[in-house]
Structure 1
């Protein structure tokens, strides 16, 4: 008898909690839409996706000029990548790698990429 009563209370309580959570979620979505929070979130995601590295920034990170050959870029990349790997700066190492990727997409495979 006690087990049946406990099971009934548990099932009823779970149903009440589930319905209240669903209602709270719907209300939060309605509030977000009303306040424009959802639109701001989408816009911030789009803005962050557009923050790609340009060629000038990539050249500055690698320390190469616009007239540098692909071999010069690769040599500079290797030097900086290894230096940051040894000294433990993952952030700088990733920036160097992204800079090389950026220049690689701009210069294309015809230059030895």
Structure 2
């Protein structure tokens, strides 16, 4: 006759298997959601190399381009982001959130990080045409 210890051991093993399967399924789903979120943060219509680069920069900087634009109150009505427009928005929000006038140091730091993120994006956009130009220059020599 089997003792209660045998049944208890079987119950523990079955419970561990059920928990293990549920954990692995949840982990796979989380990885898929994370990859989908990273792809959506990367920017619309970009090549996969650009998307992975943008995701890497967003991860390193801790902020996406879209979030940075929201913080600095840059709308789609402003057709092109220029350094002058960026500086103007930054100066206004930095001044308004100064702790000396009752503002928040946290918000000031978010404004600084948003400006840094958009400056990084502008640099990479300026470098992309130069990179493409160098690639086309090296692709085929001019005909004699």
TM-score (norm 2): 0.38
The TM-score normalised by the length of structure 1 is 0.48
The structure with the largest alpha-carbon Rg is 1
Which fold has the larger relative contact order, with Cα–Cα distance below 8 Å and residues 6 or more apart in sequence? 1
